[in-house]
Chain A
Amino acid sequence: MRTTKKLFLVFASISLFYSCKNKNQGAPQVDTSTNMSEQSNENTGQAFIEDDEATPNCLQIAIGSPDHKTLVAAVQAAQVENALVNVGPLTVFAPTDAAFAALPEGTVENLIKPENKEVLANILKYHVTPGNLSTTILTKLPKLGQANNQYVNVEVIDGKPVIGGANIIASVKAGNGIVHVIDKVLLPPSEE
């Protein structure tokens, strides 16, 4: 119940925060059929390059993981694939399916609806920070500036970094950074 309330506040504030911004983000920009420069933003970009030689990037790692089906579905719903495949370097905190399942019933289903794309994208961006940050480095940082422009606090408990209350279960090196598997979904704070 309390989580639900908190979520509500988060959603409300995020939605307000987003009013009239990013209105073109993710949408195809050119729609005249006579225009030869037409570029659909869907399924184009680095995320969709076939490459089985190089070390998998953060997105490919998530897609290949049996424990991140929800995260991958969310990334696809929010169309933020290209945010996870650029040269970065990036540190991605990847909540497990169990972490998503721990959210109030219906939350995920709701978030992946097309109309909630921006809210979902904001939450997902809150799981990404620039830099290739190992757990050792993370223990030295009091907070991280996330890709949605908000901060997440880092605590050190028993010598291990705890990210916004989430424990790091495993870490996987990626071609463009590092993926830390975490046991909790990070929710952006309602105030900056």
Chain B
Amino acid sequence: MKNLLKSTLAIVAVLVAFTSCNNGAKSGKNSGALANNVAEKVYVAPGEHDEFYAFISGGFSGQLSVYGLPSGRLFKVIPVFSQDAEKAYGYNEETKPMLNTSHGFVPWDDAHHPDISQTNGVIDGRWVFINGNNTPRIAKIDLSTFETTEIIEIPNSAGNHSSSFVTENTEYVVAGTRFSVPIPQKDMPIKDYKGNFKGSLTFITVDPEHGNMDIKFQLIMPGFDYDLSHPGRGKSHGWFFFSTYNTEEASTLMEVNASQNDKDFIAAVNWKKIEEYVNNGGGTMMPTNYAHNVNDENTHMATSTMKKEVLTVNPLDVPGAVYLMPTPKSPHGCDVDPTGEYIVGSGKLSANLTVHSFTKMLAAIENESFAGDAYGIPIIEFEASLAGVVEQPGLGPLHTEFDDKGNAYTTFFISSEVVKWKVGTWEVLDRQPCYYSVGHLMIPGGNSQKPFGKYVVAMNKITKDRYLPTGPEVTQSAQLYDISGDKMELLLDFPTIGEPHYAAGCPADLIKPRSKKIFNLEDNKHPYAAKSEADTKVVRDGKTVHIYMTTIRSHFAPDNIEGIKVGDKVYFHVTNLEQDYDVPHGISMIGANTSELLIMPGQTETFLWEPKQEGVWPFYCTDFCSALHQEMQGYVRVSAANANTPLKWSLGEDIE
């Protein structure tokens, strides 16, 4: 017995020694230039600009934040699906329609996956798209104004999660449902989910010139949960890949019941084939109801239009368009490398990464190497499309991004780390801890043929002791790593807004030259605009009063108004006459049941005031605009509902 144990030990020792191969590589790292002071690598001197923009979603804040890399400085928080009292988004009359849905005004959503528009497979920096999960929506943010300019609701969807990723010429932005639901919605027992609920994958066209979105078709898939997706590129352009979980089609205690199958699927969708089918009259028009909200840059107003039908496609009607690739254990990330050859599935309950080959997938389809079907959709044999497996790189793989040197970087939620590995050999090259519980990660240009492999940003859900404590809720965070060398190097921690769920980034030079400085007053087509002080007026229409007001440093015109009565609905339509860069004006009225306005040069915005008490009530400029900002104020006289006070207004003289 003892002898046997001894020999066991000896053999184990030898084997263990064997496993330590390649550890010698450690000696060469961080030498030379890489050993420089880390602070210098993230220091952007006062007045200097960052090299990259990073658009980091705010998750449950419903917003999108704009950071510079490598400094981690926050430049702007763009309200998308959430009302923002700072900018009056969703509060002023112009932008309220942006948040309209088939369920009415929904002033919040869960903003997840920003993705920047592309031309020829390369990031073009024109728009960033982002999905709202909860009340399914896709928004478009114009990167010349950094404002949300369009939101389209997604019908037949629920928990719009595998969204909003763009194809390599921004032909489509794609939105996949997380929750399968009855399509169309109907009253039915939950227990009858299996086989009856469906999952919709929505393909939204983007007008190449103006970016206007329009739902082209919805693919009505089996009732799985569709988690994430990414477009094919290069050789696989024309395909789209969606990860799925809950192929069990369970509806309760999902943490257990959706984890029963050894493998779920990555669905491969040949959208070009379906597009052709649809262009030739294929598909079924289904009655539905969804909102399409568009901001007009000339009128500075959004309009909401209810659409009443959507074109649906049954995958079985388009043979050869949809296949399922088995992928272990509830894959989350579904990431395509810059060449378009490899599709990486991150089975979040697996310790391995599964990599599919596009070439092998096509061959498997050609050879009909199928392992059966799911509701008539062919399932490709696991081995047939398998390119390789990254063995035990960490626990809880989540998302993979790529650099421009053939390396991949995967986050691991449970083991809380970023792991660098080699595409093609599947060899683990490096790992760095994240503090803590990292979700997604971002390399600028990551979802394109041309990533900029200088930095990776890891986004952490948990920080616990990493920052000064702020009560039970502490900031979530981003961590910046230098990936220009063989080994990753942690450079910077910075706090983020809401949940930094996902991010997209690109070189600053793509966006900087196109950034708008002012809106031309001449082009202002707002129906209540006053383009000069001579155009200002106050107009009564029954109990509704429209004030055509202007602002310029440092007064409002008019700034004295009389003849308003208790019970009136008073609309302040305020045009900022400034045509100077970075001179917005604000306005707020005591007792107004809404936010301030923050009006950009050349823009008109409107808020509603419903005075409830007689008196003389002041309003003032809320944005510190000038040396005489504190003088920028005015009064409104409110009389009793039955009073005879005449409607008059003035600037620079008394109302007689």
Chain B residue numbers with a CB within 8 Å of A12 are 11-12, 15
Chain A residue numbers with a CB within 8 Å of B122 are none
- A77 in the interface, Cβ–Cβ < 8 Å? no
- B359 in the interface, Cβ–Cβ < 8 Å? no
- A83 in the interface, Cβ–Cβ < 8 Å? yes
- A78 in the interface, Cβ–Cβ < 8 Å? no
**Roughly how many angstroms separate A105 CA and B11 CA in the complex, as a whole number?**
17
Give the residue of A22, A51, A145 whose beta carbon is less than 8 angstroms from that of B259.
A145
- The closest CB in chain A to the CB of B415 belongs to A83
Q: Is A46 within 8 A of B464, CB to CB?
A: yes
Stretch touching chain A among B229-237, B483-491, B538-546: B483-491
Question: How many inter-chain residue pairs (CB < 8 Å) link A and B?
Answer: 163
Min CB–CB distance A25 → chain B (angstroms): 7
Chain B residue numbers with a CB within 8 Å of A8 are 4, 8, 11
Give the residue of B37, B396, B465 whose beta carbon is less than 8 angstroms from that of A34.
B37
- The closest CB in chain A to the CB of B487 belongs to A29
Min CB–CB distance A37 → chain B (angstroms): 4
Contact residues on B (Cβ < 8 Å of other chain), bracket: 35 or more
Chain B residue numbers with a CB within 8 Å of A19 are 15, 18-19, 21
- The closest CB in chain A to the CB of B465 belongs to A49
**Roughly how many angstroms separate A24 CA and B490 CA in the complex, as a whole number?**
16
Contact residues on A (Cβ < 8 Å of other chain), bracket: 35 or more
**Roughly how many angstroms separate A7 CA and B5 CA in the complex, as a whole number?**
9
Q: Is B4 within 8 A of A1, CB to CB?
A: yes
Q: Is B416 within 8 A of A21, CB to CB?
A: no
Interface flags for A145-160 (1: CB within 8 Å of B; 0: not) read: 1011100000000000
Interface flags for A1-28 (1: CB within 8 Å of B; 0: not) read: 1001101100110011011111111010
Interface flags for B1-34 (1: CB within 8 Å of A; 0: not) read: 1001100110111011111111100100111000
**Roughly how many angstroms separate A116 CA and B12 CA in the complex, as a whole number?**
8
Give the residue of A22, A83, A104 whose beta carbon is less than 8 angstroms from that of B428.
A22
- A66 in the interface, Cβ–Cβ < 8 Å? no
**Roughly how many angstroms separate A166 CA and B514 CA in the complex, as a whole number?**
66
**Roughly how many angstroms separate A27 CA and B13 CA in the complex, as a whole number?**
19
- B39 in the interface, Cβ–Cβ < 8 Å? yes
Q: Is A37 within 8 A of B38, CB to CB?
A: yes
Chain A residue numbers with a CB within 8 Å of B349 are 130, 145
**Roughly how many angstroms separate A25 CA and B419 CA in the complex, as a whole number?**
10
**Roughly how many angstroms separate A89 CA and B16 CA in the complex, as a whole number?**
31
- The closest CB in chain B to the CB of A104 belongs to B5
**Roughly how many angstroms separate A110 CA and B12 CA in the complex, as a whole number?**
10
Give the residue of B19, B31, B491 whose beta carbon is less than 8 angstroms from that of A23.
B19
Instruction: Please report which residues of chain A, range 94-145, place their CB below 8 angstroms from some CB of chain B when the two chains form the complex.
Output: 104-107, 110, 115-116, 118-119, 125, 130-133, 137, 140-141, 145
Given contacts A46-B436, A86-B414, contact A25 B431 (CB under 8 A): yes
- A30 in the interface, Cβ–Cβ < 8 Å? yes
Q: Is B329 within 8 A of A23, CB to CB?
A: no
Give the residue of A15, A30, A35, A82 whose beta carbon is less than 8 angstroms from that of B415.
A82
Chain A residue numbers with a CB within 8 Å of B416 are 45-46, 82, 86
Min CB–CB distance B492 → chain A (angstroms): 9
Instruction: Please report which residues of chain B, range 446-472, place their CB below 8 angstroms from some CB of chain A when the two chains form the complex.
Output: 461-462, 464-465
Closest 10 CB pairs of A and B: A15-B15, A149-B351, A36-B38, A8-B8, A32-B30, A37-B38, A37-B490, A11-B12, A49-B465, A32-B35
Residues of A within 8 A of B (CB): 1, 4-5, 7-8, 11-12, 15-16, 18-25, 27, 29-32, 34-37, 39, 41, 44-46, 49, 51, 82-83, 86-89, 104-107, 110, 115-116, 118-119, 125, 130-133, 137, 140-141, 145, 147-149
10 A-B pairs with CB atoms under 8 Å apart are A20-B19, A21-B428, A22-B428, A35-B30, A49-B464, A83-B415, A86-B437, A115-B16, A147-B351, A147-B414
Given contacts A4-B8, A37-B38, 4 further A-B contacts (CB under 8 A): A21-B428, A29-B487, A86-B436, A131-B256
